[in-house]
Amino acid sequence: MTALTLSHVYKSFGKVEVLKDISLDVDVGEFVVFVGPSGCGKSTLLRVIAGLEDATSGEIRIAGDVVNRTPPAKRGIAMVFQSYALYPHLTVRDNMALALKQERQPKDVIADRVAEAARMLNLGDYLDRRPAELSGGQRQRVAIGRAIVRQPKLFLFDEPLSNLDAALRMNTRIEIANLHKTLGATMIYVTHDQTEAMTLADKIVVLRDGRIEQVGSPMDLYNNPANQFVAGFLGAPSMNFLPADRVGRDGGRTFGIRPEHLTIDPAGPLSGEVTHVEKLGGDTNAIVDLGGGEAVTLRLFGQHPIRANERVTLGFDPDRAYFFEPDGSRSRAA
Amino acid sequence: MNQARRNPLNMAAMHGALILYTVIALFPVFVILINSLKTRKGIFREPLSLPDAETFSMIGYQTVLRQGDFFLYIQNSLIVTVVSLFLILLFGAMAAFALSEYRFRGNTVMGLYLALGIMIPIRIGTVAILEMMVQAGLVNTLWSLILVYTAQGLPLAVFILSEFMRQVSDDLKNAGRIDGLSEYTIFFRLVLPLVRPAMATVAVFNMIPIWNDLWFPLILAPAEETKTLTLGSQVFIGQFVTDWNAVLSALSMAILPVLILYVIFSRQLIRGITSGAVK
Ligand SMILES: Nc1ncnc2c1ncn2[C@@H]1O[C@H](COP(=O)(O)OP(=O)(O)O)[C@@H](O)[C@H]1O
Ligand SMILES: [Mg+2]
């Protein structure tokens, strides 16, 4: 069953077209991540789904019903914002209860659902505090709690972790993944961070300039990118690109290889000087200057005695190499 | 804190400047207050000295309270000021919200039109306003003053408030919409509390000119029962003789109500700043 269907959705602000021909199906229980660089229209797409912006054209269905003319509160959705957007004058309890009160739910139902959400998110001790008295992580949990109590058909998250520090971000990411497992709910999650996309998603939607570039599972996109943009966007450190004639293939095209698929190989086709080494303990990353303004990142597993200013020769597994046409599309012929 | 601000010499200079300014600003008020408690001779012989046993007199206050209906004047001034401020803030905030929140055709033009009033003094239209009030049968009512002051205060209120409302987080308003709050609830419960400092600023800016205005009360509502305090005090200023005791006493008493209003608004202002919005 589909939880959300978008067909040919366009959105313009005045003359600026922000979303172009977006079509997408999301199955019930799926965790879908919209990912793309800043300004590519992810938040706008989410707001169109929520009903906070009207689509200029195209159709939006939630659980089978066309909702183009339905106000946000009646769409069966809940949204978590990057800036938390908690009501400053209400306590944590009232922040979570407000939507249910607006729906005129019975008092005991409201109390039960708030208690349940508070238990899941460890917010029991803070129910009587105001948002100003909470830390960033706690505020974001309250915002998530406010979404949970509504038992929506569709959860929408707009970069919920980008205001948190790195350690907290990881914890909250795991919490959201667990939440998805426990609730079995359909979730749509927007981020510009490819790590979040790779770790959370059942299905990733890569957006660029208001267009869908590719849809697929994380490993699908990683192993089989449809074009140079997707190949370069997913994976960290990102894929190396070189003119194909550097590796002895016909010119014009671009050669792509991920840092972990380069190896130190005295018989390899690429050689250059190490300019920078990052030792992370588990991995060692090195930047190798190949001359002619080209450089590649090399990722070696474990701790490696490579040093800056050393000359190295690099090889790669041809099965792991990608080639792209001048227009950026993937070229299948090796 | 940076070095400059912690430096004791700078601190002393800063406080010195502020104290000097306070003294200069309060000096006229102080002179009015001490002289309102002196005899006429005392006022003219030594205007800057404190009242002593010889010059102390309550004659000014007695005259003011005996002549004219002083408390009615205060009441009129209070009604006109408070109701006008209320209407300015209510309509100004609503217009500002619409201009900053909704995209509709003519939004910018409308904003400019509403702000135009800042540059055009309303007194230019006095004759037309008087004719209008006569037609509407509003001459010699407090409503004539309230309407004029509301119109006079709205442009600046819309201008300042819409600037502040643009800064209120979109996410917060959108969260309210998703939770099923009406636009009115979003406006009154979410947005207004967050722009309270701006509201207090607008209130303070408008309050003093309205309270002190002599022009419109004289033209639109000079009747005995609608006189405002400023107009009522004019009876003591004659063409040939001025009853200075009475004038100074009336002025002293007129300071008190505005002072109370000011304290109320400025406390709001400070509370708004310190409580802060939750990001
Ligand atoms: N209300 C608006 N009016 C005009 N342009 C907008 C509006 N909202 C977003 N945009 C434009 O749409 C584009 C996409 O914005 P957004 O969806 O916020 O990007 P993202 O969330 O992917 O960073 C941006 O170029 C932005 O300037
Ligand atoms: Mg965004």
Give B14-41 as a 3 state SS string: HHHHHHHHHHHHHHHHHHHHHHHCECHH
Q: List all residues 6 or more positions away from A259 whose beta carbon is below 8 Å from its beta carbon.
A: A237, A239, A240, A285, A296, A297, A298, A299
Describe the crossing of helices B170-178 and A42-50 by its angle, rounded to 10 degrees: 30
Residue A75 CA to chain centroid, in angstroms?
24
Of B171, B181, B193, the CB nearest to A83: B171
User: In ligand 1, which atom is closest to the CA atom of A53?
Assistant: 1
Give mean pLDDT, residues A293-312.
92
Going from N- to C-terminal start, the domains of chain B cover 1-57, 69-273
The structure tokens 């009512």 sit at B141
Distance CA B267, CA B272 (A): 8
Distance CA B106, CA B93 (A): 19
A to B CB pairs, distance under 8 Å: 67
Which tokens go with A228? 């140079």
Q: Which residues line ligand 1 (CB under 6 A)?
A: A 13, 16, 18, 36, 38-44
State yes or no: pLDDT of B276 exceeds 50.
Answer: no
Asked, as a colleague might, if the bond just before A237 is cis with ω within 30 of 0, I would say yes
Going from N- to C-terminal start, the domains of chain A cover 2-230, 238-247+254-324
Report the separation in Å between the CA atom of A16 and the middle of ligand 1, taken as the mean of its atom positions: 10
Question: Nearest CA of chain B to the CA of A162: how many Å?
Answer: 13
State yes or no: pLDDT of B242 exceeds 90.
Answer: no
**How does residue B119 score in pLDDT terms, banded at 50, 70 and 90?**
confident
Structure confidence at residue A71 (pLDDT): 95
In this structure, what DSSP letter does residue A239 have? P
Ligand nearest to the CA of A158: 2
Q: Which residues of A touch B177 (CB under 8 A)?
A: 52, 71-73
Q: Which residues of A touch B278 (CB under 8 A)?
A: 84, 86, 88, 130-132, 139
Structure confidence at residue A57 (pLDDT): 96
Using only C-alpha atoms, chain A has a radius of gyration, in whole angstroms, of 23
Structure confidence at residue A220 (pLDDT): 94
**How does residue B2 score in pLDDT terms, banded at 50, 70 and 90?**
low
Question: Nearest CA of chain A to the CA of B277: how many Å?
Answer: 7
Structure confidence at residue B232 (pLDDT): 85
Q: What is the pLDDT of residues A63-75, one digit of tens each?
A: 999 999 999 999 9
User: In ligand 1, which atom is closest to the CA atom of A14?
Assistant: 4
The verdict on domain B69-273 having CATH code 3.40.190.10 is: no
Of B180, B189, B279, the CB nearest to A99: B180
Question: Which among A5, A68, A25 has a CA at the least distance from the CA of A205?
Answer: A25
Strand partners, A329: A227
Distance CA A320, CA A258 (A): 8
Q: List all residues 6 or more positions away from A62 whose beta carbon is below 8 Å from its beta carbon.
A: A3, A4, A49, A75, A76, A77, A153, A154
Which tokens go with B73? 């004047």
- Indicate the burial class of A126 (C-beta count within 10 angstroms; 0-12, 13-18, 19 or more): buried
Ligand nearest to the CA of A207: 1
Q: What is the pLDDT of residues B214-230, one digit of tens each?
A: 999 999 999 989 999 88
| Torsional class of A151: left (φ above 0), alpha (ψ -120 to 50), beta (otherwise) | left
Distance CA A275, CA A262 (A): 16
Distance CA A314, CA B81 (A): 82
Q: What order of strands is seen across the sheet that includes strand A203-208? A: A77-80, A154-158, A186-191, A31-35, A203-208, A211-216
Name which residue sits closest to atom 7 of ligand 1, judged by CA. A13
Interchain pair B169, A83: CB under 8 A:
yes
Q: Which residues of A touch B279 (CB under 8 A)?
A: 83-84
Interchain pair A50, B171: CB under 8 A:
no
Distance CA B111, CA B116 (A): 9
The complex scores an ipTM of 0.87
Of B178, B190, B279, the CB nearest to A77: B178
**How does residue B19 score in pLDDT terms, banded at 50, 70 and 90?**
very high
Answer yes or no: are the C-beta atoms of A99 and A87 closer than 8 Å.
Answer: no
Type of residue numbered B187: F
Strand partners, A27: A2
Q: What is the pLDDT of residues B147-189, one digit of tens each?
A: 999 999 999 999 999 999 999 999 999 999 999 999 999 999 9
Report the separation in Å between the CA atom of A45 and the middle of ligand 2, taken as the mean of its atom positions: 9
Stretch among A280-289, B91-100, B115-124, B232-241 having the lowest mean pLDDT? B232-241
Ligand 2 ion: residues within 5 Å (CB):
A 43
Q: Which residues of A touch B175 (CB under 8 A)?
A: 79, 81, 85-87, 146
Average pLDDT, chain A: 93
Q: How far is CA B4 from CA A167, A202, B17, in A?
A: 37, 56, 16
Residue B159: count of CB within 10 angstroms of its CB: 18
Topology, domain A238-247+254-324: OB fold (Dihydrolipoamide Acetyltransferase, E2P) (2.40.50)
Q: What is the pLDDT of residues B53-112, one digit of tens each?
A: 888 888 888 888 887 788 888 899 999 999 999 999 999 999 999 999 998 888 889 888
A2-230 to CATH, choices 3.40.50.300, 3.10.450.50, 3.20.20.140, 3.10.105.10: 3.40.50.300
Look at the alpha carbons of B156, B159, B164, B165 in this order and tell me if their dihedral is positive or negative. Answer: positive
Q: What is the pTM of this model?
A: 0.83
Question: Nearest CA of chain A to the CA of B93: how many Å?
Answer: 19
Strand partners, A32: A188, A203
Question: Nearest CA of chain B to the CA of A123: how many Å?
Answer: 18
**How does residue B279 score in pLDDT terms, banded at 50, 70 and 90?**
very low
Interchain pair A72, B194: CB under 8 A:
no
Distance CA A300, CA A302 (A): 6
Transcribe chain B into DSSP letters: --HHHH-HHHHHHHHHHHHHHHHHHHHHHHHHHHHHTB-HHHHHH-TTSPP-TTTB--HHHHHHHHSS-HHHHHHHHHHHHHHHHHHHHHHHHHHHHHHHH---TTHHHHHHHHHHTTTS-GGGGHHHHHHHHHHHT-TTSHHHHHHHHHHHHHHHHHHHHHHHHTTS-HHHHHHHHHTT--HHHIIIIIIHHHTHHHHHHHHHHHHHHHHH--HHHHHH--SGGG--HHHHHGGGB-SS-B-HHHHHHHHHHHHHHHHHHHHHHHHHHHHHHHH----
Q: A252-278: string of b/e by CB count within 10 Å (b at 16+)?
A: ebbbbbbbbbbeeeeeeebebebeebe
Task: Name the residue in chain A with its Cα closest to that of B180.
Answer: A73
State yes or no: pLDDT of B5 exceeds 70.
Answer: no
Residue to mutate among A44, A46, A79, with most B CBs inside 10 A, is: A79
Structure confidence at residue A216 (pLDDT): 96
